[in-house]
Amino acid sequence: MHRQNQPSPAKFGIGQHVRRVEDRRFVTGHGSYVADTVIPGECVGILVASQHAHARVVRTDIEAAKAADGVVCILTADDLAADGVGGLLPMIMPPGMSGPSTVSPVLVRERVRYVGDPLVFVVAETALQARHAADLVEVEYEALPATVHVEDALREGAPILWDVCPNNIAFELAHGDPEETTRAFARATHVVSLKVVNNRVSANPIEPRAAIGHFNLADERYTLHTNSQWPHGVRATLANDVFGQSESNFRIISPDVGGGFGMKAQAYAEDALVLLASRRCGRPVKWLSTRSEALMRDTHGRDQVMIGELALDAEGRVLALRARGLHAVGAYVFAAVLAPLEYSIKVLPSVYDIKTVDVRTRGVFTNTSPLSAYRGAGRPEANYMIERLLDHAAAQLKMDPLELRRRNLITPQAFPYETATHYKYDSGEFARLLDRSLEIADWEHFGNRRAASEARGLLRGCAAVFCLEAAGLLNEAMEIRFDPSGTATILAGTHSHGQGHETAYKQMVSEWLGIPFESIRFVQGDTDQVTIGRGTYAARSAVAGGNSLKRAAETIIEKARGMAAEMLEVRVADIEFDAGTFRVTGTDLMISMPEVAKACCNMRALPPDQVVGLAATGSFGFEVPTFPNGCQVCEVEVDPATGLVCVDRLIAVSDVGRLVNPLLAEGQIHGGLAQGIGQALMESVVYERDTGQLITGSFTDYAMPRAADLPNFSTDFIEVPCLTNALGLKGCGELGTVGSPPAMITALLDALRPLGVTDIEMPATPARVWETIQLARKTG
Ligand code: SMO
């Protein structure tokens, strides 16, 4: 029982089940979203996008559109060129890349490379008028052959997207030691190999993208309201790459955001277009994505094919791992595309003691929407590969898959442990995770449940897999600032778009400064209020934000201690601080933190050399990633007559280090599990193979998981403190998604194994499962 209305620091401190303070406004309809924001005088922009996957643009005629009712202004690539507008550079340029030539332009001039490539921006008084006018824009195309699958794109004679990349290979990444690996394979008793496909998925957050741009003639500053995971990153891209102006000229406001999942981590063409159009027409310009535009133009995730090979000794110990991946880049090198590729090979050893590896992947241009981070970004691909491969090895060696895994786990005594891909793991108790998961799953009685299913003509399968992710990137700055009434405000460089940062950070500050949880204020997502910020992705915020905040709190206490000494007329050394109170050691003389804060803001009584106000900024930078890890046990029941897969149970036992708030952590894991189940069982972005037309252009064709598709998740945590940050946190946001696809598919294959099925591709839709069963029956 947790009553919210009884203020007590212990109840709201770190580790407590504090309910999200954000939910009050979210569930009562008081959230503040870009689409709901109205700026007086605003007009509406609509994007005209390419209808071809690959084509030369012969002619663009905007004359009829210009004359349409209500049209305010129209932007073409020629206008942008005249204004000297630059392209949308990726956050990190991949190594050896051909440079800016393959970067996404704000509007395309000569050659479109995917269905959805932006061509013309039409602004009118109303959305309807803009839509009508957009329909009058005439684009003449000369169609070119398109290629949408990574393997097709590398075939002899495949259409080439970029002249500077004549083989469609954008870049290549590698880790490990090929020669040592070859030697290990030569002395192996068993060699197994498996090809897996990671289906292309779309993030589909509850809130589609939205942007309002306003260029203010009075001070020549640009204000952009956009629903971004990283407003400061959007500012940097727009200022430095697109506009070529100082970042000080831009204010980015990202208010409440309904989900990002990696897809909203960067500036998109529309963010630039609303500002460019506003500069032209002198009015605020709003753009709102439809669901179909989102499926077409949002960055996508996964879309990878990988062949993995394991060398094992007679006892099933892995001697070496080899992997060769092809990962779609899409039409442009955009956003954080480097992340999924890098993680998809670097995380491959996961929780296993694999001393020798040779892992590589290549980024491949395809006539599809650009690829970027999607919840997990490469870690799900890596975990899917290694877990499927281990299961495959167990089947070939006729070993219990759990025993095979146990034999290869990194043991707690091995830490600190350096992987063959040069990650340094600080801590972990992997076998404990498995034991606990099996216990919750009632694993030992699986046989009874399988027999009961069989009695009803159904198949049942179970599986246990591990998951591990590398979390955290870049440094962070967090500020704590007191106002004259003694109230503290947290100014966050991270960005919460559903995670519950406000709650977590307030728990921390209320504990460290001993001030009431309810009185703390929280500010994020406004670059004019928050000086520096790195946004939220890669499960970084609790670790980076929390540890930065801790240092800010420590500085606050030291500054306030000096003031308290002045006020109590003793030496600083005589002041001790505990639970929000400064006390003269060994006496009853004391003063509270808010009182000291108020005194620091006093307009008269301060000593002349005292800094007015009480504020501090703390910073934390990742020297090494943190490594959240877990074990997931899945049990499915399959109806062979229909191919329907029912997820009977999914247990996730996770080590995310110390827990800031078990409720938030559980919510994060739940969401991640749901997204992984979505990918495993139903979600898939489908392009027509020859034309590159998008087949899954609406939710009629793109299946999202619904509550009824999901089991009642069982989650538990084993808190093994992280040793590379003071708070012992590992991060939590992506772990569920990393583990659930291999958990689902290995459990499904366990169910289908009696029929002779050894492989199935994601998404394992009822149609695909049914077909697979039919095929096995025919050939078996
Ligand atoms: S998709 Mo994650 O933010 O690495």
Residues 516-546: tens digit of each pLDDT: 999 999 999 999 999 999 999 999 999 999 9
Atom of ligand 1 lying closest to residue 265 CA: 3
The CA-atom distances, in angstroms, between 617 and each of 280, 485, 554, 614, 732 are 39, 20, 10, 11, 25
pLDDT tops 90 at residue 428: yes
* Percentage, residues of the chain above pLDDT 70: 98
**CA-based nearest residue to 333, from 527, 169, 458:** 169
Evaluate if residue 5 carries a pLDDT over 50: no
Distances (CA, A) of 111 to 174, 367, 547: 32, 12, 47
At 220, phi and psi to the nearest 5?
Answer: 55, 40
Res. 279: pLDDT tops 70:
yes
Mean pLDDT of all residues in 294-321 = 98
C-alpha of residue 734 to centroid of ligand 1, in Å: 7
* H-only helix segments in 660-765: 662-681, 735-752
CA distance 552 to 509: 10
The answer, yes or no, to whether any atom of ligand 1 lies below 6 A from the CB of 535, is: no
What's the rounded mean pLDDT across residues 297-314?
Answer: 98
Calculate how far, in angstroms, residue 648's C-alpha sits from the geometric centre of ligand 1.
28
pLDDT at 10: 65
Q: Which pLDDT score, from 0 to 100, does residue 239 have?
A: 98
Judge whether residue 4 has pLDDT over 70: no
As a 3-state breakdown, the chain gives helix, strand, coil percent values, each rounded to 5, of 35, 25, 40
112, 57 contact by CB (below 8 A):
yes
Report the pLDDT value the prediction gives residue 610, as an integer from 0 to 100.
81
Instruction: List phi, psi (to 5°) of 72.
Output: -100, -50
Q: Is 373 in the pocket of ligand 1 (CB under 6 A)?
A: yes
Q: Which two tokens stand for residue 352?
A: 């296993």
pLDDT band at 243 (very low <50, low <70, confident <90, very high): very high
Residue nearest to atom 3 of ligand 1 (CA): 537
Q: Dihedral of CA 751/754/758/759: which sign?
A: negative
What digits encode the pLDDT tens for the residues 744-779? 999 999 999 999 999 999 999 999 999 999 999 998
- Describe the strand order of the beta sheet including 318-330 as a list of residue ranges: 169-176, 357-365, 318-330, 304-312, 190-198
The CA 625 to ligand 1 mean position distance, Å, reads 13
pLDDT band at 608 (very low <50, low <70, confident <90, very high): confident
Residue 773 is classified by DSSP as H
Q: Characterize the bridge pairing of strands 424-425 and 285-288.
A: unpaired
Is pLDDT of 7 > 70?
no
Contact present, 306 and 137 (Cβ < 8 Å):
no
pLDDT at 1: 34
CB neighbour list of residue 452: distance below 8 Å, 6 or more residues apart: none
> 631-676 pLDDT, tens per residue?
999 999 999 999 999 999 999 999 999 999 999 999 999 999 999 9
Q: For the full predicted model, state whether its pTM sits above 0.95.
A: yes
Provide CB contacts within 8 A for 361, sequence distance 6+. 172, 173, 174, 304, 306, 323, 324, 325, 326, 327, 341, 344, 345
Residue found under tokens 């290629």 = 147
316 lines ligand 1 (CB under 6 A): no
Residue 569 neighbours by CB under 8 Å, 6+ apart: none
Per-residue three-class SS string for 565-592: HHHHCCCHHHEEEECCEEEECCCCCEEE
Among 532, 476, 478, 490, residue whose Cα is nearest residue 236 = 532
Nearest-angstrom CA–CA distance, 343 and 471: 10
3-class secondary structure, 607: coil
Please state the length of the chain.
780
Write out the DSSP string of 754-776.
GGT----PSS--HHHHHHHHHHH
Query: Is 70 exceeded by the pLDDT of residue 329?
Result: yes
pLDDT, position 55: 98
Identify the band that residue 603 occupies on the pLDDT scale cut at 50, 70 and 90: confident
Which of 230, 298, 734, 737 best tests ligand 1's pocket when mutated (most atoms within 8 Å of CB)?
A: 734
Q: Indicate which residue's Cα is closest to atom 4 of ligand 1.
A: 538
- pLDDT at position 633: 98
- For atom 2 of ligand 1, which residue has the closest CA? 538
Reported as a pLDDT band with limits 50, 70 and 90, residue 738 is very high
Q: Are 546 and 532 in contact (CB under 8 A)?
A: no
26 pLDDT tier (thresholds 50, 70, 90):
very high
Please give the number of the atom of ligand 1 that sits closest to the Cα of 340: 4
- Report whether pLDDT(21) > 80: yes
Asked whether the predicted pLDDT for residue 2 surpasses 50, the reply is: no
Q: pLDDT value at position 374?
A: 98
Could you list the beta-strand ranges (E) of 77-114.
111-112
Under a CB-based contact definition with an 8 Å cutoff, are residues 655 and 731 in contact? no
Is residue 537 within 6 Å of ligand 1 at its C-beta?
A: yes
What is the atom index within ligand 1 of the atom nearest the CA of 343? 4
How far does the centroid of ligand 1 lie from the alpha carbon of residue 632, in Å? 20
CB 274 within 8 A of CB 35: no
Q: What is each CA distance from 305 to 95, 323, 374, in whole angstroms?
A: 21, 10, 16
Let me know: does 285 contact 277? Beta carbons within 8 Å.
Answer: yes
Q: What is the mean pLDDT of residues 594-606?
A: 90
Ligand 1: centre distance to CA 353 (Å): 25
Q: Where is 517: in which H helix or E strand? A: none
**Beta bridge mates, 212:** 225, 286
For ligand 1, the distance from its centroid to the CA atom of residue 550, given in whole angstroms, is: 24
d(CA 261, CA 415): 31
CA distance 564 to 70: 64
C-alpha 117 – ligand 1 centre gap (Å): 24
Decide the pairing of beta strands 357-365 and 318-330.
parallel
Which atom of ligand 1 is nearest the CA belonging to 339? 4
Say how far apart CA 693 and CA 707 lie, in whole Å. 30
- Least Cα distance to 327 among 355, 343, 306, 312 occurs for 306
Q: Which of 99-108, 156-165, 352-361, 548-557 bottoms out in mean pLDDT, i.e. has the lowest?
A: 99-108
- pLDDT tens-digit profile of 414-423? 999 999 999 9
Amino acid in the structure at residue 671: G
> Hunting for tokens 């993208």 — which residue is that?
209
Each residue's pLDDT tens digit, 690-715: 999 999 999 999 999 999 999 999 99
Can you tell me which atom of ligand 1 is nearest the CA of 471? 4
Strands (E) across 50-156 are located at 55-61, 71-76, 111-112, 118-124, 138-143
* Sheet containing strand 475-482, strands side by side: 521-524, 488-492, 475-482, 615-621
Q: CB under 8 Å to 774, separation ≥6 — which residues? A: none
d(CA 504, CA 545): 10
**Is 375 close to ligand 1, i.e. is its CB under 6 Å away?**
yes
- Answer whether 35 contacts ligand 1 (Cβ < 6 A): no
Q: In sequence order, which ranges of 264-416 are alpha helices (DSSP H)? A: 269-281, 291-297, 338-346, 379-397, 401-408
Q: Is 342 in the pocket of ligand 1 (CB under 6 A)?
A: no
Which candidate, 492, 477, 658, places its Cα nearest to that of 551?
Answer: 477
What is residue 73's three-state secondary structure?
strand
Written as one letter, the residue type at 193 is S
* Residue 607, pLDDT score: 78
Q: Is there an atom of ligand 1 within 6 Å of 377 CB?
A: yes
State the number of CA atoms in the 13 A half-sphere of 283 facing the CB: 16
> Is the pLDDT reported for residue 161 higher than 70?
yes
In the reported structure, the alpha carbon of residue 377 is separated from the centroid of ligand 1 by a whole-number distance in angstroms of: 5
Task: Tell me how crowded residue 640 is: count the other CB atoms within 10 A of its CB.
Answer: 17
DSSP 3-state of 170: strand
Considering the chain, what is the average pLDDT of its residues?
A: 96
Q: How far apart are CA 45 and CA 639, in angstroms?
A: 49
**pLDDT band at 609; cut points 50, 70, 90:** confident
Contact 744, 634 (CB under 8 A): yes
Q: Taking Cα atoms as reference points, which of 520, 486, 480, 498 lies closest to residue 13?
A: 520
Mutate which of 537, 626, 679 for ligand 1 pocket (most atoms within 8 A of beta carbon): 537
Q: How far, in Å, from the CA of 622 to the mean position of ligand 1?
A: 16
DSSP letters, 130-169, are HHHHHHT-EEEEEE-----SHHHHTSTTPPPS-TT-TTSE
pLDDT of residue 739: 98
Kindly state the tokens that stand for 47: 């994007």
Is the pLDDT reported for residue 360 higher than 90? yes
Q: What is the pLDDT of residues 110-124, one digit of tens each?
A: 999 999 999 999 999
404 alpha carbon to ligand 1 midpoint, in Å?
30
Would the pLDDT of 200 be above 60? Answer: yes
Q: What pLDDT shows up at residue 550?
A: 98
Q: Which of 229, 375, 381 to mutate to test the pocket of ligand 1 (most atoms within 8 A of CB)?
A: 375
**Ligand 1 atom at minimal distance to the Cα of residue 540:** 3
DSSP state at residue 611: P
> How confident is residue 577, by pLDDT bands cut at 50, 70 and 90?
very high
